[in-house]
């Protein structure tokens, strides 16, 4: 064991003299800081957009207060009708949003809602006016630096971890020491972990801590994710080194594998999902819903005029009928929406399955979840908003039943939307498991290869 420590010390001294490693870590630090800054800037912009949306309620309420103030004694202003009470459920970015923008731009982050709003309540927040060319290129956030660029730097630091000694002719001398070959490789890998990977882990967490809101569990989870991912890539470099005989071959193999893991593999997986589970047609769904609406409207228009009750209730009966009509219309739309939603969910399940085989996708998923920019959180927001709409409808029905128009005081005691964060641990643990299994698999491969075929064999 002490010989291993000696070898480790030697490796660290030798690697420490390699200026390239310092430049690699510095390069990573610069990109990580830039990525975290980009993410933080995006978070500020998103928070400002959310504040604009939230302020809309105050604008509506100011108009309602004016109506209340201008109403004659005994008059019930339109502002007192509860069905036009505005709500703006919003999905605030997570405290560590600077880490990854992830899927946050692919899902609505707010809803313009009245109790009787239909399925279009999220539509305004599906629209974007920023340059699609910028979006298509992908945001340069910290997650991109970790998922895409960190592996290149790690491979640059480790691609010749063993073949270099072979080429320089000192491999035989190293192996003549009373240390098993596998332990030699492990020691070399450990030196790179200590000198390159650990600084990268600390830099990632540090850059995030500097630009995000304080959130210790999230920072620890980020560090664990980066560490496991780094282990995977160092494991891959070691595996290549026990197979390749020349540094050039090892460099080419590492480059090709990087391309496969972070670009070709995900692209192929995406193409496979597109073929197996293409997205359902959103435009066909919209047309089907509009046709249902027209049919419903024609039926409503064909109805004889409603007779008013005497004495007239304070909330007109036509509003009660309107609510019943809306509920009936939604029942008609439900099969179309359910079919579409099921197809979308099925496709997402397939997309999600890719992370079980691709460590790069698993890490992206983990970082998205830690940042609160994952698809599951966005979908949870939509589900909770629809549940909240149900709650406001019950509230509205109660007011209709009690024939109780709104007062200014009532507007201060409205139902409030509170987003409940979905379970993070299970999905995160699965992501970590995938990456750790990848790293362990590569280590096992290298170990078996070393046992079957001595490191010096040509």
Partner 1 sequence: MSAPRVWTVAATQLRLMSRDRRLAWLTGLLALVMLASAAVGQSRNAQLQADRRAAAAEAQEVWRSQGPTNPHGAAHFGQDVYAPVSPLAALDPGLSDHLGVAVRLEGHSQNPARERPVEGGAALSRFGGFSAAWALKVLAPLMIILAGFSTFAGERSRELLSQERAAGASSFTLMGGQLLALSTWAFGLVAAFTAAGLALVLANGAAAADMLAALAMGAAFFLYLAVFVGLTLAASASFRTARAALVALLCFWALSTLAAPRLVPALAEQLHPTPAAPVFEKAVTEEAKNGANGHDPADKRLAAFKAETLRHYGVTREEDLPVNFAGLALAFGERNSTQTYNRHYARLFDAYEGQARVQRWVALAAPELAVGPLSMAFARSDLDAHLRFLKQAEAFRYRLIQTLNADVAQHKPPADGPYLADVGALTRHLRFAPRPAALGEVWTRQRANALVLAGWAALAFALAGFAGLRLERPQ
> 261-300: which residues touch partner 1 (CB under 8 A)?
262-264, 266-271, 273-275, 278-279, 281-284, 286-288, 290-291, 294, 298
Q: At closest approach, how far in Å is the CB of 137 from partner 1?
A: 4
SS3 192: helix
Contact 236, 254 (CB under 8 A): yes
Residue that is written with structure tokens 């830690």 in the block: 370
Contacts of partner 1 in 364-403 (CB under 8 A): 364-365, 368, 374-375
Residue closer to partner 1 (CB basis): 291 or 387 = 291
- CA-to-CA separations, 46 to 113, 162, 201, 371, 385, in angstroms, rounded: 19, 47, 27, 14, 19
User: What tokens were used for 303?
Assistant: 């109805």
Residue closer to partner 1 (CB basis): 164 or 449 = 164
Q: At closest approach, how far in Å is the CB of 394 from partner 1?
A: 29
DSSP calls for 72-100: PTT---GGG-GGG--B--B-PPPTTTTS-
Instruction: Report how far apart the first and last C-alpha atoms of the chain are (Å, whole number).
Output: 29
Q: At closest approach, how far in Å is the CB of 134 from partner 1?
A: 4
Q: What is the x/- site pattern for partner 1, positions 82-111, by CB under 8 A? A: --------------------xx--xx--x-
Contacts of partner 1 in 408-437 (CB under 8 A): none
Q: At closest approach, how far in Å is the CB of 24 from partner 1?
A: 12
SS3 161: coil
User: What tokens were used for 324?
Assistant: 């019943």
Contacts of partner 1 in 151-190 (CB under 8 A): 152
Q: At closest approach, how far in Å is the CB of 138 from partner 1?
A: 5
Binding window for partner 1 (CB under 8 A); candidates: 233-241, 259-267, 312-320, 324-332: 259-267
Contacts of partner 1 in 47-86 (CB under 8 A): 48-49, 52-53
Contacts of partner 1 in 316-345 (CB under 8 A): 344
Residue closer to partner 1 (CB basis): 246 or 451 = 246
Q: How far apart are CA 279 and CA 343, in angstroms?
A: 7
Binding window for partner 1 (CB under 8 A); candidates: 180-188, 194-202, 213-221, 348-356: 348-356
Q: At closest approach, how far in Å is the CB of 332 from partner 1?
A: 15
Q: How far apart are CA 45 and CA 390, in angstroms?
A: 31
Nearest to 39 by CA among 213, 160, 172: 213
Nearest to 171 by CA among 182, 159, 163: 163
Q: At closest approach, how far in Å is the CB of 430 from partner 1?
A: 12
Q: How far apart are CA 54 and CA 392, in angstroms?
A: 18
Q: How far apart are CA 182 and CA 177, in angstroms?
A: 13
Contacts of partner 1 in 126-155 (CB under 8 A): 126-140, 144, 148-149, 152
Q: At closest approach, how far in Å is the CB of 400 from partner 1?
A: 26
Q: How many CB atoms lie within 10 A of CB 355?
A: 22
- CA-to-CA separations, 412 to 60, 205, 386, in angstroms, rounded: 13, 42, 22
Nearest to 5 by CA among 125, 179, 258: 179
Q: At closest approach, how far in Å is the CB of 443 from partner 1?
A: 25
Among 121, 244, 361, 371, contact with partner 1 (rule: CB under 8 A) = 361
Q: At closest approach, how far in Å is the CB of 131 from partner 1?
A: 5
* Position 11 contacts partner 1 (CB under 8 A): no
Residue closer to partner 1 (CB basis): 138 or 313 = 138
Residue closer to partner 1 (CB basis): 102 or 230 = 102
User: What tokens were used for 156?
Assistant: 């640059």
Residue closer to partner 1 (CB basis): 190 or 224 = 224
Q: How far apart are CA 34 and CA 208, in angstroms?
A: 10
Contacts of partner 1 in 191-250 (CB under 8 A): 247-248
How many chain residues interact with partner 1 (CB under 8 A)? 81
Q: At closest approach, how far in Å is the CB of 176 from partner 1?
A: 27
Q: How far apart are CA 50 and CA 94, in angstroms?
A: 13
- CA-to-CA separations, 104 to 40, 42, 333, in angstroms, rounded: 14, 10, 28
Nearest to 439 by CA among 273, 294, 261: 261
Q: What is the x/- site pattern for partner 1, positions 15-34, by CB under 8 A? A: --------------------
Residue 23: which H helix or E strand, with range?
helix 19-70
Residue closer to partner 1 (CB basis): 65 or 135 = 135
């Amino acid at each position: 064991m002490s010989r291993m420590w000696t070898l480790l010390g030697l490796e660290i001294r030798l690697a420490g003299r390699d200026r390239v490693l310092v430049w690699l870590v510095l390069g990573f630090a610069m990109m990580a800081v830039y990525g975290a800054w980009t993410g933080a800037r995006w978070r500020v912009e998103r928070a400002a957009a959310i504040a604009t949306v939230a302020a809309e309620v105050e604008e509506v309420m100011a108009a309602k207060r004016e109506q209340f103030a201008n109403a004659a004694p005994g008059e019930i202003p339109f502002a007192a009708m509860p069905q036009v009470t505005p709500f703006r459920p919003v999905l605030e970015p997570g405290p560590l949003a600077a880490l990854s923008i992830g899927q946050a731009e692919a899902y609505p982050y707010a809803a313009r809602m009245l109790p009787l709003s239909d399925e279009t309540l999220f539509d305004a927040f599906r629209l974007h006016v920023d340059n699609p060319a910028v979006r298509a290129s992908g945001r340069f956030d910290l997650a991109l630096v970790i998922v895409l660029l960190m592996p290149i730097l790690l491979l640059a630091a480790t691609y010749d971890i063993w073949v270099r000694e072979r080429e320089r002719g000192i491999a035989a001398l190293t192996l003549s020491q009373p240390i098993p070959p596998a332990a030699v490789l492990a020691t070399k890998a450990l030196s790179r972990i200590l000198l390159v990977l650990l600084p990268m882990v600390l830099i990632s967490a540090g850059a995030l801590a500097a630009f995000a809101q304080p959130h210790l569990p999230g920072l620890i989870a980020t560090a664990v994710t980066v560490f496991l991912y780094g282990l995977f890539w160092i494991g891959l470099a070691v595996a290549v080194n026990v197979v390749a005989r020349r540094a050039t071959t090892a460099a080419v193999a590492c480059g090709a594998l990087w391309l496969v893991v972070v670009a070709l593999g995900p692209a192929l997986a995406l193409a496979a999902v597109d073929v197996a589970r293409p997205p359902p047609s959103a435009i066909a769904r919209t047309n089907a819903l509009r046709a249902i609406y027209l049919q419903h409207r024609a039926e409503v228009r064909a109805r004889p005029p409603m007779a008013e009750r005497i004495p007239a209730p304070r909330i007109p009966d036509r509003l009660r009928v309107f609510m019943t009509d809306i509920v009936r219309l939604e029942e008609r739309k439900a099969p179309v929406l359910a079919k579409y939603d099921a197809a979308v969910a099925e496709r997402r399940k397939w997309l999600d399955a890719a992370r079980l085989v691709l460590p790069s996708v698993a890490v992206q998923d983990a970082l998205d979840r830690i940042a609160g920019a994952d698809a599951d959180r966005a979908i949870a927001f939509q589900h909770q908003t629809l549940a909240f709409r149900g709650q406001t409808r019950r509230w509205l029905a109660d007011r209709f039943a009690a024939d109780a128009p709104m007062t200014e005081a009532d507007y201060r005691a409205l139902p409030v939307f509170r987003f409940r964060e979905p379970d993070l641990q299970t999905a995160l643990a699965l992501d970590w498991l995938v990456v750790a299994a990848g790293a362990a698999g590569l280590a096992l491969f290298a170990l078996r290869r070393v046992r079957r075929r001595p490191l010096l064999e040509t």
